[in-house]
Amino acid sequence: MNRPNLIILVLFYSRHGATRKLAELIAQGVESVPGCDARLRTVPAVSSVAEATAPALAAEGAPYVEAADLADCAGLALGSPTRFGNMAAAMKYFWDGTASEWLGGTLAGKPACVFTSTGSLHGGQESTLLSMMIPLFHHGLVVLGLPYTNAELMTTSSGGTPYGASHWSGVDGDKAITDDEKRLAVALGRRLADTACKLRGA
Per-residue pLDDT of 38-77, as tens digits, reads 999 999 998 777 665 666 666 677 999 999 999 999 999 9
pLDDT (0 to 100) of residue 172: 83
Average pLDDT over residues 144-163: 96
Higher pLDDT, 167 or 57: 167
**Dmax (CA) of the chain:** 53
- Cβ neighbors of 22 (< 8 A, separation 6 or more) are 12, 79, 115, 116, 117, 165, 166, 167, 177, 181, 185
Whether the CB-CB separation of 106 and 143 falls below 8 Å is answered with no
Mean pLDDT (the chain) is: 93
**Does the pLDDT value for residue 202 go beyond 60?**
no
Residue 198 has pLDDT above 70, yes or no: yes
Confidence at residue 173, expressed as pLDDT on a 0 to 100 scale: 82
Q: Other CB atoms closer than 10 Å to residue 51's CB: what's the count?
A: 5
pLDDT of residue 187 exceeding 60:
yes
**Per-residue confidence at 171, pLDDT binned at 50, 70, 90?**
confident
| pLDDT-above-70 percentage for the chain | 94
pLDDT for 119 beyond 70: yes
Note whether 134 and 80 are within 8 A (CB). no
Confidence of residue 20 (pLDDT cuts 50, 70, 90): very high
